[in-house]
């Protein structure tokens, strides 16, 4: 939920990036969701080490959106991304 005094743009970003219900995203979701299928908040996330290493981890030379880059490669390798609605925050998790 956006803060009560959030600007329209802030509120839009919050509602767009953090869905009201938990989601599991897979590679086929890219067709419907476009780039939003790759949203992955690296601030509060967990990725299984083997999955992280299998896709090469974070890319070198990327200074922004490395989390989305990682999520795109995970989805490309048929590893699902789960966005779980929690009591106070949302925690992205990588699952098989």
- The model's pLDDT over 6-62, given as tens digits with 9 standing for 90+, comes to 899 988 887 777 777 778 888 888 899 888 888 877 666 788 899 899 999 988 888
- For residue 55, what are the domain limits? 21-95
- With respect to residue 3, please indicate whether it lies within any of the assigned structural domains: no
CA distance 46 to 7: 30
- Does 56 reside within a domain? yes
Q: Is the pLDDT of residue 66 over 80?
A: yes
CA distance 34 to 45: 21
Q: E strands within 8-62?
A: 23-25
**Residue 90 tokens, joined:** 């949302």
Specify the number of domains making up the chain.
1
Number of CB atoms found within 10 A of residue 5's CB: 7
Q: How confident is the model at residue 89 (pLDDT cuts 50, 70, 90)?
A: very low
Confidence at residue 95, expressed as pLDDT on a 0 to 100 scale:
59
Domain presence at residue 46: yes
What is this structure's pTM? 0.68
Confidence of residue 90 (pLDDT cuts 50, 70, 90): very low
């Amino acid at each position: 939920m956006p803060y009560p005094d959030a600007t329209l743009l802030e509120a839009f970003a919050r509602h767009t990036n953090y869905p009201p219900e938990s989601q599991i995203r897979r590679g086929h979701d890219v067709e419907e969701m476009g780039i939003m299928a790759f949203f992955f908040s690296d601030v509060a996330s967990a990725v299984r080490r083997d999955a992280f290493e299998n896709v090469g981890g974070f890319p070198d030379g990327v200074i922004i959106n490395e989390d989305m880059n990682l999520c795109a490669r995970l989805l490309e390798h048929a590893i699902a991304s789960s966005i779980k609605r929690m009591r106070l925050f949302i925690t992205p998790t990588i699952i098989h």
